[in-house]
Amino acid sequence: MTAELTFKELGLSADILEGLLKKGFVNPTPIQAQTIPMLLNGERDIIGQAQTGTGKTAAFGLPIIERITPGLRKVQAIVLAPTRELASQVADELESLKGKRDLRILPVYGGQGMDIQLRQLKQGVDIVVATPGRAIDHLKRKTLKLDDVRFMVLDEADEMLNMGFVDDIETILTHVPEERRMLLFSATMPGPILKLAKKFMGEYDEVKVAAKQTSSANVEQIFYEINERDKLRALHRLIETETEFYALVFSRTRLGADRLAHKLSDLGFDVEALHGDVTQVQRERILAKFKGGHATILVATDVAARGIDINNLSHVINFDLPDSPEAYVHRIGRTGRAGKTGKAISFVTPSEWRKLQFIMQHTRTTIERAHLPYGQAVIDLKRSAMKEKVFMATEGEISQDFYNLAADILESGKPKQMLASLLQLHFGGNLNPHAYPEIREPERPAFKQRHSLERHGAPGRPSSGPRGGFGGKRERTSSNGQFSSKPFFKKKKFAS
């Protein structure tokens, strides 16, 4: 049913629909199809039960954007999220959904400069996306005023309760007007969630989306533990040793996407970069080039990659690990489509180990650990990939002109030498094993449950951190586990 339903049929305004179309969104997900009309047309509270990766942010975000007053510069909606990463992601998503509407959206979480938050709150904002702890900090300072709140959203409510935020949530709820509308979204509905709903919600409607596998069964998922400074060398090595590499590579920032694309171009690869600074005309040109096979690598940020539909991608590379399970699911879902298989590869730095566990837990999947090849192993893989590419090429249609040219070349009486020269001309590269030294894995801060994951291949549940973030306290780092503070891209040649 929802596969045929469009956003236009849900009652959204023309300007919102125009923005969704530009992002490539036409059909709502099940949670969106059920929730949006309720929020647009009704006045009851809502409890939504849906897994990560089902489109919950747009489900509550689009109707809120529709119904609040642009330019008021008073907090009309507040969204509470369990972690700073999720708060930032939700704020970014709402920013991308608002279109041309005059709405200020502010993420508020620990680890971000308090002065910046204070200044922006003083200037006035319309929507606040906050972690409970930082919201409490601002309420105590009287810098966050919730008297005009019309919508109160608890996102990932079960996670907030698991992390010990129930008292903070109840405190925040006492600061919002009684006539506000409350929306509660949770993957599970344990007793404390229902108790919270009974205490603070009025009459409510329930929306439930059946749980489903949130990571593709057709995608092989692996990760490499690696230092930040070694990521480019690792990616170069993977490109050279894979039989097929038609890939979407994700970077966290616009600057990072540009830098990575330039470095890969310098290494001889056909690559393009796509991010928020790219104009619509440039975007269309880049996508046409990539879809046409004239570029084999597209480096993109999450926001820029939304709405991209590209067939036959062999790889999705998380050059920078995403900040949430939802983003991870969206990324890897772009390969392994239409019955084909794909590969999702993630680079994980020592400080991101806890984030990886969080992603595995919430996507209910195991991402296998792998080790980068080096020395003769790289040469063997490169040779195998070269042979496979040549054999695959022979299965395609070959012009008679090339057969005639091949006959002329073979008349030289040196067929082996001629073939070798053609292979070198086409593939280039280095077949000396000493050119591929080991890329050493970093010393990782020792977290609780680390050994459970490595021994059994199943993610342990992250321990609850005090407020925000991906978990609890770190144990002591070994003396040689220091992280490099050198610039990411140095002006020197990389050993691949």
pLDDT per position as a tens digit, 159-173: 788 778 889 999 999
Q: Where are the beta strands (DSSP E) in 303-406?
A: 315-318, 342-348, 368-369
Tokens standing for 341? 């298989």
Q: What is the C-alpha to C-alpha distance for residues 4 and 33, in angstroms, rounded to an integer?
A: 11
**Average pLDDT for residues 283-310, to the nearest whole number?**
85
Share of the chain above pLDDT 70, in %: 84
pLDDT tens-digit map of 349-403? 998 988 898 899 888 888 999 998 877 877 877 777 777 777 777 777 888 888 8
Q: Which residues, at least 6 apart from 46, have a Cβ–Cβ distance to it below 8 Å?
A: 35, 38, 39, 182, 183, 184, 204, 205, 206, 207
Q: Which residues, at least 6 apart from 197, have a Cβ–Cβ distance to it below 8 Å?
A: 47, 184, 204
Residue where the block lists tokens 């059920």 = 34
pLDDT computed for residue 466 by the predictor:
34
pLDDT computed for residue 53 by the predictor:
63
* Coil, helix or strand at residue 298: strand
pLDDT > 90? residue 279: no
CA distances from 160 to 193, 464, 470 (A): 10, 9, 12
Q: State the pairing for strand pair 297-300/271-274.
A: parallel
- Return left, alpha or beta for 307; rule: phi > 0 is left, psi -120 to 50 is alpha, else beta: left
pLDDT computed for residue 467 by the predictor:
33
pLDDT tens-digit map of 237-262? 888 888 789 999 999 999 999 999 99
Domain 219-374, CATH: 3.40.50.300
> pLDDT-based confidence at 40, cuts 50/70/90?
very high
Bridge partners, 49 (sequence order): 186, 208
pLDDT computed for residue 73 by the predictor:
96
Among 299-303, 328-332, 345-349, 469-473, which is the least confidently predicted range? 469-473
Residue where the block lists tokens 């200044």 = 119
The reply to whether 219-374 shares the fold of 7-208 is: yes
**Average pLDDT for residues 301-309, to the nearest whole number?**
74
CB atoms within 10 A of CB 371: 12
* Coil, helix or strand at residue 49: strand
Listed by start position, the domains of the chain span 7-208, 219-374
pLDDT > 70? residue 230: yes
pLDDT computed for residue 117 by the predictor:
94
Q: Which of 385, 363, 268 shows the shortest CA–CA distance to 318?
A: 363
pLDDT computed for residue 484 by the predictor:
37
pLDDT tens-digit map of 403-436? 888 887 787 777 777 777 777 766 666 777 777 7
Say if pTM beats, i.e. exceeds, 0.75. Answer: no
Largest CA distance in the chain: 91
**Average pLDDT for residues 8-31, to the nearest whole number?**
88
The architecture of the domain spanning 7-208 is 3-Layer(aba) Sandwich (3.40)
Q: Where are the beta strands (DSSP E) in 256-388?
A: 271-274, 297-300, 315-318, 342-348, 368-369
Tokens standing for 346? 């993630």
pLDDT > 60? residue 482: no
CB atoms within 10 A of CB 398: 11
**Average pLDDT for residues 464-490, to the nearest whole number?**
35
**Average pLDDT for residues 107-120, to the nearest whole number?**
88
Bridge partners, 108 (sequence order): 130
SS3 annotation, 426-490: HHCCCCCHHHCCCCCCCCCCCCCCHHHHHHHCCCCCCCCCCCCCCCCCCCCCCCCCCCCCCCCCC
Angle at 296 between CA 293 and CA 302, to 5 degrees: 115
> pLDDT-based confidence at 473, cuts 50/70/90?
very low
pLDDT > 60? residue 471: no
**Average pLDDT for residues 437-459, to the nearest whole number?**
53
Q: What is the C-alpha to C-alpha distance for residues 158 and 160, in angstroms, rounded to an integer?
A: 5
Among 79-83, 196-200, 391-395, which is the least confidently predicted range? 391-395
Q: What is the C-alpha to C-alpha distance for residues 75 and 81, in angstroms, rounded to an integer?
A: 16
pLDDT > 90? residue 317: yes
Residue where the block lists tokens 């995403």 = 322
Q: Which residues, at least 6 apart from 449, have a Cβ–Cβ distance to it below 8 Å?
A: 357, 460, 461, 462, 463
> pLDDT-based confidence at 284, cuts 50/70/90?
confident
CA distances from 47 to 130, 196, 319, 412 (A): 19, 11, 36, 78
